[in-house]
Amino acid sequence: MRPVRKITSDEENLREVEIGKNMVTFKRDPVEPEPVGTIILTAFRITGYDKDCDGSLMARLEHIDLRGRTTGWKVKNVGIRPDSDIVVSDDELKELCECQD
């Protein structure tokens, strides 16, 4: 397991482009960070549960970065299951983060 590959400015051909008189924007070429078909896992923290119509519980989640900081993306009514989801501790998440530095 490893973080998604970082894309460099050189790979993207990052450049300034004039879009009008005294107006400049940045353009870049699209570069896939990982090949199509790659499996990724993205981290969410459970913030609570709500009852579904059949009485089972559906999770409320917030997306977090590898340092455990929220990104602002929140989802609700998500079923969590042992055959599709993986649980990690804060320490395990921090260990993965250390390989980025």
Ranges of each domain in the chain: 9-98
Sign of CA dihedral 47, 51, 53, 56: positive
Q: In the Cβ-directed half-sphere of 70, how many Cα atoms lie within 13 Å?
A: 9
Q: Do residues 45 and 65 lie in contact, with contact meaning Cβ atoms separated by under 8 Å? A: no
pLDDT of residue 73: 97
pLDDT digits (tens, 9 = 90+) for 7-61: 998 999 999 999 988 999 999 999 999 999 999 989 999 999 999 999 999 999 9
pLDDT of residue 90: 86
CA-to-CA dists, residue 25 to 16, 18, 22, 83, angstroms: 6, 6, 10, 46
Give the tokens for residue 9.
Answer: 């400015």
